[in-house]
Amino acid sequence: MPRQVLSPFHHNTLLSDAAKLARSNFEDPGGLLGLFYERAADDPESIRMLAERYTATELAEKTALDIRYWFDIEVEVCALAPFDGLQHPVQARGAAITWRLER
């Protein structure tokens, strides 16, 4: 669920990982990898009315905006690689997303 993975108010989220990476002793630049799963059309949990808000591209850009806003970290979406054909009945397609962080 996006609220569990992307919240700036919880520990162990993609956003808190960005902040930890920016504070770390790793040399610049740093990066994040996230996986986006597109729900199947026949999934009862699908958000049919708001599907355009829940695309990999929209999520990638929103994540970058949130990292900038909450943690004042320069970040850009580097790559978005769609995938399809996984065996999971609900999460068979989606995208791998990478972000580049600058301190």
How far is Cα 31 from Cα 17, in angstroms, rounded to an integer? 10
13-42: average pLDDT: 84
Domain of 30?
2-102
pTM: 0.80
pLDDT category at 103 given cuts 50, 70, 90 is low
Taking only the tens place, the pLDDT of each residue in 31-63 is 999 988 887 666 666 555 555 567 899 989 999
Q: How many domains does the chain have?
A: 1
Residue 3 is predicted with a pLDDT of 53
CA triplet 89, 93, 94: central angle to 5 degrees?
135
